[in-house]
C-alpha cells in the first residue's frame, strides 16, 4: 500500500472544541490540569513516500472552528484523493494513551487530593476509550506518541540531516515540552517535561486572565505584547511562576492550583483579571509583554545547554507553542542556529502528519527526507463548481472573466479596495499563504484599521502579515535563509527606513510575520506580487486569512461567497472570475 493516513481528533467529542473544554472544567472544578482536552483540531493527512500529498482540517469542512471529534469528512477527502476506501488505508492516530502515560501524569501532580486523582483517572479512561473507538472506522489503525508525531512532522520535512527538534504545547499524553535530536532517519528524545511544566498552559492561563479564550486566542496576547514591549513591570511575576532545578528542568506550581483560586492569587499581585469585553488598558499590554518575554527567556534557557552539547546549528519546531511567531523570531535572531524549520501546521493537525510519517517509516523502513513545500494540500474546485456557486447567488452578485485578471485586481487594490483571493488548493495549517487570502495595499496607513473593522471584525491591536516576492524580500526585511520564511511562522525585523512604506503590515514593535513567495511555489500569486512591485516599487501585499473572526478559513467557493457577502470586502476573485456585489 503506497499511502499512509494520519489522523488527529477524538470520536465522541463535541464538535465545538471550547464548549467541550468548558464543560470538562465545570464537571471537574478541582482538577488543576486539563485531561481529555487533547482532541481538538481534528484533521486527516495523506502521506506518500515521506511527503504529504493531501491534507485538510475537519473544521474547513464542518465549518466549526477547531472541530473536535472524528475527522470523518477529512478522512474521506483523503481516501478520495488516494482512490481507495477509508477502510483500506493504513492509518496512524496522533495519541498513544497507555498506563505509563497515566502513571506519569498522576506522578506529576505530586500527591494531589484523592478526588483529583479519581477525576484524572476517569477522564483519562474516557479519552482512551474515545481514541480506541477509531478502530471501528479505521481497522488498520496504529497509534503514535503525540510529541513524537509533532517532532516527526518538523524534522522529517525540514531537509536537515541533523537538528535539534523542539516540541511545545499545552500537553500531550503526559508531556508538555520535548527536545529531540534528529540524526539521519532517527529521532532520539533528549529531554521531556511533564504537564506540570507546561509553558503552553501557563500562556493559556495568562490568555484567560487577559480576557481571551485559552487554546484559541494566544495569538492575540502575542500581538498585544508588542504594545507593552519595554515595560518589564510584570516580567518578575511570570518568571517567578517557574521553579527551576538547574537549567534543564522546572515546575510551575500555579498549574497545580485549581483555576478559580489561581485567578484570585494572580489578581492579588497583578490587579483584577480583565473581562472579555473590557477595554484594553496599558496594564494589559504590560501583562502580555511580561508573559511573552518570560516564555522566550524560558525556552532559551532550556535549549542553550542542549545545543551547546550537540552543536547541530539547526532547529526544528512543532507543537501549538511553535505558532508563536514572536518567540520563533527570537530563536531566529539568538545566534544559536544557522537555519530553522517551523512546521507550518505546527498544532495538532501537524501531529497527524507526523503520526503518518512515523507509521510509514515503521511499515516500510527508511523513506526519503526532503524539505516540505508550501502546504497547498487541501481541496481544489473546478470551473463548473465555481459557476454553480455563483449562480446560486446570482441575485446578489455580478461577475466577469477579465482578459487580464491580475492587473484588474491590482487596479482595485491600488484604489484602496479589499479583495478576497481564492485559487487552487487550500492551505494546510492556520496560515493563508495566497490561495485562501484577503489582500489589500500595505502602503496605506489606514488599511490595517479598515480590514480589522470592516472585514475581519477583530481587535484593532492585531497586526497583518506581508506577502513579498523572494526577489524583493531582502530589501524590506532582515532575513537569513529565504526558505525558512515561506510559511509565515517567524516575526522578522523591518529594515531601517522601510517601515513607513508598508505601514499596514509592520507591527508596533517594527516586526512583520513575513511570507516570502517563490515563483515555483505559487506562480500566479508570485506574478501578482511582482506586478505590484513593478507598479509601485513595493512587491508586497497585505495578506490575511480569508475568514471572519470565529470562523475557519474558507474552503469552497460557496464558503468564499458567503464570507464575501457578509463582510465589507469590495471584490472577490474566484480563480479566473472577478466578482462584485450588486448595488
Question: Tens digit of pLDDT for each residue in 46-70?
Answer: 999 999 999 999 999 999 998 888 8
φ/ψ of residue 350, rounded to 5: -65, -30
Strands 175-183 and 186-194: antiparallel
Distance of CA 362 to the CA centre of its chain: 27
Range of the domain at 416: 383-581
Q: How far apart are CA 268 and CA 19, in angstroms?
A: 29
Residues 303 and 352 in one domain: no
Q: How far apart are CA 41 and CA 485, in angstroms?
A: 24
> Any idea which of 6-15, 378-387, 518-527 has the lowest mean pLDDT?
6-15
pLDDT at res. 507? 96
Among 16, 40, 208, 314, the active-site one is: 40
Per-residue pLDDT averaged across 567-581, rounded? 97
pLDDT at res. 1? 62
Of residues 18 and 293, more confidence is placed in: 293
In a domain, 476, yes or no: yes
Residues 390 and 337 in one domain: no
Which pTM was predicted?
A: 0.95
Domain count across the chain: 3
Would you say residue 12 has pLDDT above 80?
Answer: no
Strands 91-93 and 3-8: parallel
**Catalytic residue at 40?**
yes
pLDDT at res. 421? 98
Q: What is the rounded average pLDDT for all residues in the chain?
A: 92
Contact indicator for 544, 456 with CB cutoff of 8 Å: yes
Q: How far apart are CA 359 and CA 204, in angstroms?
A: 31
In a domain, 284, yes or no: yes
The CATH number for 531's domain is 3.90.870.20
Residues 205 and 136 in one domain: no
pLDDT at res. 105? 74
pLDDT at res. 260? 73
pLDDT at res. 15? 67
In a domain, 183, yes or no: no
Q: What is the per-residue pLDDT across 103-155, written as a single tens digit (0 to 9) for each?
A: 877 777 766 667 777 777 877 787 778 777 788 888 889 999 999 999 999 99
In a domain, 154, yes or no: no
Of residues 248 and 566, more confidence is placed in: 566
Residues 126 and 224 in one domain: no
pLDDT at res. 103? 81
The secondary structure of 384-423, three-state, reads HHHHHHHHHCCCCEEEECCCCHHHHHHHHHHCCCCEEEEC
The CATH number for 352's domain is 3.30.420.40
Cross-strand partners of 3:
48
Residues 399 and 544 in one domain: yes
Number of helices followed by number of strands (H, E) in the chain: 20, 22
Q: What percent of the chain stands above pLDDT 90? A: 76
Per-residue pLDDT averaged across 86-108, rounded? 85
Residues 408 and 351 in one domain: no
Residues 209 and 338 in one domain: yes
Q: What is the per-residue pLDDT across 251-292, written as a single tens digit (0 to 9) for each?
A: 998 887 777 788 889 999 999 999 998 999 999 999 999 999
pLDDT at res. 231? 94
**Closest by Cα among 229, 237, 227, 241 to 199:** 241
pLDDT at res. 135? 83
pLDDT at res. 113? 67
pLDDT at res. 340? 98
Amino acid at each position: 500500500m503506497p499511502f499512509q493516513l494520519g489522523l488527529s481528533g477524538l470520536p465522541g467529542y463535541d464538535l465545538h472544541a471550547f464548549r467541550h473544554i468548558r464543560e470538562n472544567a465545570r464537571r471537574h472544578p478541582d482538577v488543576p490540569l486539563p485531561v481529555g482536552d487533547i482532541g481538538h483540531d481534528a484533521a486527516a493527512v495523506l502521506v506518500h513516500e515521506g511527503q504529504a500529498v493531501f491534507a485538510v482540517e475537519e473544521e474547513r469542512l464542518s465549518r466549526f472552528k477547531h472541530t473536535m471529534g472524528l475527522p470523518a469528512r477529512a478522512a474521506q477527502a483523503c481516501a478520495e484523493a488516494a482512490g481507495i476506501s477509508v477502510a483500506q488505508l493504513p492509518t496512524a492516530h496522533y495519541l498513544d494513551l497507555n498506563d505509563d502515560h497515566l502513571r506519569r501524569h498522576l506522578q506529576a501532580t505530586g500527591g494531589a487530593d484523592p478526588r483529583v486523582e479519581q477525576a484524572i483517572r476517569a477522564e483519562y479512561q474516557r479519552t482512551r476509550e474515545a481514541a480506541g473507538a477509531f478502530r471501528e472506522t479505521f481497522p488498520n489503525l496504529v497509534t503514535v506518541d503525540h510529541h513524537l508525531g509533532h517532532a516527526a512532522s518538523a524534522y522529517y520535512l525540514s531537509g536537515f540531516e541533523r537538528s535539534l527538534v523542539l516540541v511545545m504545547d499545552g500537553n500531550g499524553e503526559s508531556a508538555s515540552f520535548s527536545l529531540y535530536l534528529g540524526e539521519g532517519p532517527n529521532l532520539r528524545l533528549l529531554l521531556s517535561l511533564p504537564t506540570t511544566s507546561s509553558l503552553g498552559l501557563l500562556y493559556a492561563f495568562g490568555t484567560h486572565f487577559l480576557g481571551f479564550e485559552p487554546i484559541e486566542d494566544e495569538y492575540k496576547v502575542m500581538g498585544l505584547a508588542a504594545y507593552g514591549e519595554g515595560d518589564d513591570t510584570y516580567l518578575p511575576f511570570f518568571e517567578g511562576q517557574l521553579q527551576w532545578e538547574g537549567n534543564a528542568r522546572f515546575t510551575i506550581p500555579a498549574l497545580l492550583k485549581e483555576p478559580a483560586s489561581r485567578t484570585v492569587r494572580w489578581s492579588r499581585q497583578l490587579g483584577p483579571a480583565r473581562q472579555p469585553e473590557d477595554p484594553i488598558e496599558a496594564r494589559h499590554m504590560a501583562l502580555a509583554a511580561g508573559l511573552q518575554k518570560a516564555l522566550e527567556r524560558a525556552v532559551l534557557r532550556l535549549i542553550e545547554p542542549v545545543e551547546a552539547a550537540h552543536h547541530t546549528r539547526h532547529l526544528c519546531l512543532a507543537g501549538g507553542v511553535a505558532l508563536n511567531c514572536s518567540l520563533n523570531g527570537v530563536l531566529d535572531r539568538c545566534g544559536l542556529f544557522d537555519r530553522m524549520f517551523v512546521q507550518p501546521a505546527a498544532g495538532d493537525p501537524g501531529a497527524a502528519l507526523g503520526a503518518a510519517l512515523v507509521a510509514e517509516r515503521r511499515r516500510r523502513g527508511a523513506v526519503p527526507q526532503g524539505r516540505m513545500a508550501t502546504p497547498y494540500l487541501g481541496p481544489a474546485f473546478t470551473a463548473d463548481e465555481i459557476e454553480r456557486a455563483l449562480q446560486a447567488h446570482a441575485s446578489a452578485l455580478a461577475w466577469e472573466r477579465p482578459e487580464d485578471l491580475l492587473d484588474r485586481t491590482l487596479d482595485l487594490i491600488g484604489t484602496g479596495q479589499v479583495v478576497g483571493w481564492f485559487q487552487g488548493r487550500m492551505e494546510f495549517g492556520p496560515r493563508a499563504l495566497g490561495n485562501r487570502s484577503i489582500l489589500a495595499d500595505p502602503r496605506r496607513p489606514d488599511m490595517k484599521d479598515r480590514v480589522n473593522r470592516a472585514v475581519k471584525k477583530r481587535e484593532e491591536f492585531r497586526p497583518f502579515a506581508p506577502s513579498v516576492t523572494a526577489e524583493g524580500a531582502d530589501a524590506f526585511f532582515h532575513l537569513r535563509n529565504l526558505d525558512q520564511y515561506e510559511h509565515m511562522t517567524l516575526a522578522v525585523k523591518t529594515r531601517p527606513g522601510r517601515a513607513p512604506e508598508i505601514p499596514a503590515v509592520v507591527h508596533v514593535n517594527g516586526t512583520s510575520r513575513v511570507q516570502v513567495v517563490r515563483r515555483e511555489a505559487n506562480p500566479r500569486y508570485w506574478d501578482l506580487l511582482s506586478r505590484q512591485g513593478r507598479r509601485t516599487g513595493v512587491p508586497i501585499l497585505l495578506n490575511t486569512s480569508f475568514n471572519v473572526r470565529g470562523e475557519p478559513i474558507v474552503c469552497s467557493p460557496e464558503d468564499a461567497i458567503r464570507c464575501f457577502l457578509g463582510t465589507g470586502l469590495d471584490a472577490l476573485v474566484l480563480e479566473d472570475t472577478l466578482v462584485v456585489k450588486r448595488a
